[in-house]
């Protein structure tokens, strides 16, 4: 019992260190605020007039929400994605300055060390996601306590999996600069192919979708797990789903567990 309590205290200490370090990082905080503002103010407002009732060839899109409302959940996911993966850079810092070696020779198990780091990164990412929720009323998204709690639950599960994914990346990348370049090379393609800035209209059959979009793009969007996270967030916040509403939660749950198990495997090599 004492040994288990000691492990939990260690997880708490690592979690607290990760959260404090992230919240004191002004660069991360500025990015967490400026990123959603740029997407919502410039892209959202700029494209808002062109979103409803657009006609492409013989296909007419009828989407019962404004573009601002449509893109708002995706901007939350973008903030979660950036913050979760970038938080894993702490592993490189700890490895570079010897802190990780000191922690790993302590009585704490490696899995508990990893859990503390992942929980810390996930907590910071949820805080950054909540920063976007603050502007919900200005884009016409009505929030209730139920939707806020559901959104935070989904954000945490998503952030947990993505932080674990960031740890996997950090295990292969040795330098800070390389990690930034490599993580951006992962983040941007994942985000832009997640149906985040344009919808695959749910009113269309698959055959119509393949006529409207290139087949390769449809296949990538449908096989990108982040697509279903964005869709689940839209279902919670604006009651708009392109796919089965339950599918998003299932994919995020499987992704969180699967990526943490992968991170556990990789962390054995650190």
Residue 153: count of CB within 10 angstroms of its CB? 14
DSSP class per residue in 116-135: HHHHHHHHHHHHHHHHHHTT
- Give the global pTM: 0.86
- pLDDT tens across the length of the chain (270 residues): 677 888 889 899 999 998 998 888 777 778 777 777 777 777 777 777 666 655 555 555 556 678 888 889 999 999 999 899 888 888 888 887 778 888 888 888 889 999 999 999 999 999 999 988 988 888 889 899 999 999 999 999 999 999 999 999 888 887 777 777 777 788 888 888 888 887 776 556 666 677 677 888 888 888 999 999 999 999 999 988 888 889 999 999 999 999 999 999 988 877
In DSSP terms, which residues pair with 56 in a beta bridge?
59
Query: Chain centroid to CA 133: how far?
Result: 14
Q: Which tokens is 133 given?
A: 């929720």
Domain boundaries, the chain: 1-55+62-269
H/E element holding 95?
helix 89-96
Eight-class DSSP state of 224: -
Tracing tokens 């998003």 back to the chain, one arrives at: 248
| Contact yes or no for 76/233 (Cβ under 8 A) | yes
């Amino acid at each position: 019992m004492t040994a288990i309590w000691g492990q939990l205290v260690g997880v708490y200490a690592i979690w607290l260190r990760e959260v404090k370090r992230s919240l004191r990082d002004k660069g991360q905080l500025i990015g967490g605020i400026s990123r959603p503002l740029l997407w919502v103010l410039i892209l959202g407002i700029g494209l808002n007039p062109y979103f409803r009732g657009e006609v492409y060839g013989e296909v007419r899109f009828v989407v019962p929400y404004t573009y601002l409302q449509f893109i708002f959940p995706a901007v939350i996911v973008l903030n979660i994605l950036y913050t979760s993966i970038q938080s894993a850079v702490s592993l490189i810092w700890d490895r570079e300055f010897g802190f990780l070696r000191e922690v790993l020779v302590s009585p704490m198990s490696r899995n508990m060390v990893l859990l503390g780091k992942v929980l810390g990164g996930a907590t910071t990412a949820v805080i950054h996601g909540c920063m976007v929720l603050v502007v919900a009323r200005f884009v016409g998204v009505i929030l209730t306590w139920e939707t806020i709690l559901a959104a935070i639950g989904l954000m945490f599960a998503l952030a947990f999996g993505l932080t674990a994914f960031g740890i996997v990346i950090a295990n292969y990348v040795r330098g800070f600069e390389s990690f930034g370049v490599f993580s951006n090379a992962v983040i941007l393609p994942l985000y832009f192919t997640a149906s985040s800035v344009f919808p695959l209209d749910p009113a269309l059959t698959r055959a119509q979708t393949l006529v409207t979009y290139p087949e390769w793009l449809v296949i990538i969007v449908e096989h990108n797990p982040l697509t279903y996270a964005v869709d689940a967030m839209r279902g919670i916040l604006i009651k708009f789903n392109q796919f089965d509403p339950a599918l998003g939660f299932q994919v995020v749950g499987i992704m969180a567990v699967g990526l943490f198990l992968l991170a556990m495997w990789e962390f054995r090599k650190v």
